[in-house]
Chain A
């Protein structure tokens, strides 16, 4: 086999594809051919590098050169200069904002320095449409070993000992969930991958599916073996066409290689996977609503218990795991539970992927070890606040989470501590706000989302969130009263206590956390009829207006 001397990795995630990365690849192929270099340079279409802010990205090996914001018309120069003459195209390098200095290598960028990429390990490194590249990176080895050399109980034991917890938001111990489903005897069981990612601003699951689909298939097969299921479903939003396309390719390849289907690795274990498309309702991420949706019913939650582990899809024992949770599984089996449990904090093991968005310099997908501080994520990895503005708050956990003020920036990120400061880990949305953001207005946005996405089955959520939203509209229009403030709090608490599912139980979180940390802003809106940030209908604070 003739070796290529240069690999050009071009990001083909959704964000970069929307910025013409397809045209870039096409131009590269044509230009290299034209100049007679097509046999020396391999173009690799990869998943997301995470640095979406500066996409499309081309990474060149072995030089380790990292080009950002590449346009189709830059291709000729890259080929002429880099491929033919060996000269780096300076103008396409990333410039570190704090240093005002161009940086050639990805490893030297502060965005990547503090990251630890486990779930995203293959994203931006392999071609997701080529099963062989996944196999080269130890793909399907964990499945092979599990099926050939381990009992289901032993597999569950490894996952339990690793301390892995669900990355969808709840943080339930994954090994325990497998054990519970394993323990419920039935002739038919199911493993489901929850790819219904609905938090505004979150895209970590989509990126994993687009960049490394085989890791999810492999993990599902391992889970199937462990719990005793022969059938898996991936419940994915229909609005993720690229992820769906890559999953379909991956499933087909895995079947061709006999890694899905009957008698996997010549054992008695049969396993296959099917995609189920969701219409993109936030509540369908809740596992009982998700199951109803797969069964063809309305995506409405049921009261728990019974938990899906006892009676799930078509009343059979079912295990529902989030995409990011599954992405960790093959590696834990290969490297061992001890390796995994050394990463992170006492009760939160491993890494977490965050979709960093809002007013930070480096918007993108970051994977960090648990226990890192919010300040490190926002200022070191995120490169600080845009336009040298002042940091105000960070919203974690999406619509179910809360806003964390500056005083808690040194909070270590794990399941427990985020809850202690009134927010949650959630699925990993992280939205940064600066001095120009009005906290009341932001809260109104989340409540509008909760109101829209409520399935309407239970009264507190259906009517309660509507009332909360109305009060917030009133306050931001300058018509709020002291009583409104009181009602926001008490109604919020009632909805939290009395809703049927996680959506309702968490929907008042943005209100409760901002009322606690930014009460002054609410008071300014209600008492002084002003918006300190100058966002809401009544304009800027009087004091500011007079100066």
Chain B
């Protein structure tokens, strides 16, 4: 490792590492939270690939306001893999049958542009317990 001789060099290291640490700062009130149902049925239906694709896309697009959480059974076994999007101030949106391709679509449309993917929605509004 060569020495840091300027504030710019320090800044560069800071940015490189910061991105990897953003995960530790995410908050429900300020960030969009994407949940992926990963109980046995979800994993069997390919939720892990969906999850990893979502992660790659978020990383690729350097999205700072989004974080991804895996959750257990969400109850819609027949529609697995399930992805739920919770944006601050908006009702949660639940998508079904999300494969890798559709995962990219969610990031590109819903998360980036705020457009809902109407065809994929299982339930648009429901009360969270």
Contacts and interface: CB of A to CB of B under 8 A. Distances in A.
A140 B10 contact: yes
B34 to A, nearest CB: 10
B88 interface: no
Nearest to A44: B24
Contacts of A135: 10, 13-14, 17
A187 interface: no
A488 B28 CA distance: 59
Interface stretch (B67-75, B90-98, B99-107, B110-118): B67-75
Given A3-B55, A5-B68, A62-B68, A136 B21 contact: yes
Nearest to A259: B4
Contact of A148 (B3, B7, B17): B7
A126 B4 CA distance: 21
Interface string B66-92: 011111100000000000000000000
Contacts of B17: 132-133, 135-136
Interface residues of A, number: 38
A7 B23 contact: yes
A339 interface: no
A6 B23 CA distance: 8
Interface residues of B, number: 38
Interface in A82-133: 84-87, 125-126, 132-133
Interface string A133-154: 1011110110011001000000
B13 A5 contact: no
A1 interface: yes
Given A4-B23, A132-B17, A258 B4 contact: yes
Given A87-B72, A265-B5, A62 B10 contact: no
A266 interface: yes
B21 A62 contact: no
Nearest to B13: A135
A135 B4 CA distance: 11
Given A5-B51, A86-B71, A86-B72, A145 B14 contact: no
Contact of A258 (B3, B7, B26): B3
A347 interface: no
Contacts of A1: 16, 19-20, 59
Contact of A257 (B4, B21, B55): B4
Nearest to A139: B14
B10 A86 contact: no
B23 A86 contact: no
B40 to A, nearest CB: 7
A42 B55 CA distance: 14
B7 A144 contact: yes
Interface string A450-486: 0000000000000000000000000000000000000
Nearest to A105: B28
Interface string B9-37: 01001101111110110100000010011
A132 B68 contact: no
A9 interface: yes
Nearest to B58: A3
A259 B4 CA distance: 7
B24 to A, nearest CB: 4
5 contacts: A1-B19, A86-B71, A141-B10, A259-B3, A266-B6
Given A42-B20, A61-B26, 16 more contacts: A2-B59, A3-B55, A3-B56, A4-B20, A6-B23, A6-B70, A62-B23, A64-B26, A84-B43, A135-B14, A136-B14, A144-B4, A148-B6, A148-B7, A256-B1, A258-B3
Interface of A: 1-7, 9, 40, 42, 61-64, 84-87, 125-126, 132-133, 135-138, 140-141, 144-145, 148, 256-259, 261, 265-266
